[in-house]
Amino acid sequence: MPELILASTSRYRKELLTRLGIEFRCERPETDESPLPGEAPRELAMRLAVEKARAVAPRHPDALIIGSDQVASCAGERFGKPGNAERAIAQLTAMSGKEVVFDTAIALLDTRNDKLRVLNVPTRVGFRSLSNEEIARYVEREQPFDCAGSAKSEGLGISLLTHIRGDDPNALIGLPLIALCELLREAGFAIP
């Protein structure tokens, strides 16, 4: 059985993959996450998922490598990880009363034969009309500085939403486990 590598340092992705009860290691992918000119959010997420998997591949000639990335967007605007309270407040203000698409891409690279599969799992998230006070309270309590779009649906962020529509509830948190299980089974990895 090949080694399983998660090309990510995201604690959210690590926690989600742990749910499957399989052994894996995490490794930091050194990738530039800047969008290319004119690159759509879906394509950006898919490209970065592949680049993350490929970034760690040279060190693992007998492995299945998982790469994943998420891009949030609304009306042509992208929302990445805010990094601080000011940007989180600006993001949530811009998303207030709107539907935001979270494109979460998953790539599985089999370094034994260089076979690559990549899927995108979109999630549509409706945000309530939020007051400045609600946004400030949420950001102060949740501190969602490491989450695309500043809203942690697995925590207090759920109170900001009107709906979540998608094929995999884990995709919104950062790793679409249903799609990943499909890819792993195709690669001969037994789950469960």
- CATH number for the domain that contains residue 144: 3.90.950.10
CA dihedral 28, 31, 32, 36 (to 10 degrees): -140
How many domains would you assign to the chain?
1
Residue 191, domain member (yes or no) = no
69 is catalytic: yes
Which DSSP symbol is given to 158?
G
Per-residue pLDDT of the chain (192 residues; tens, 9 = 90+): 899 999 999 999 999 999 999 999 999 999 999 999 999 999 999 999 999 999 999 999 999 999 999 999 999 899 989 999 999 999 999 999 999 999 999 999 999 999 999 999 999 999 999 999 999 999 999 999 999 999 999 999 999 999 999 999 999 999 999 999 999 999 998 888
- DSSP letters, 54-79, are HHHGGG-TTEEEEEEEEEEEETTEEE
Which DSSP symbol is given to 167?
S
Which residue spans within 43-184 are E strands per DSSP? 63-74, 77-79, 99-110, 115-127, 161-166
Residue 137, domain member (yes or no) = yes
Marked catalytic residue, from 69, 103, 110, 168: 69
Residue 89, domain member (yes or no) = yes
Residue 56, domain member (yes or no) = yes
Residue numbers of the domain that contains 48: 3-186
Residue 36, domain member (yes or no) = yes
Residue 176, domain member (yes or no) = yes
Which DSSP symbol is given to 149?
G
Residue 8, domain member (yes or no) = yes
Residue 24, domain member (yes or no) = yes
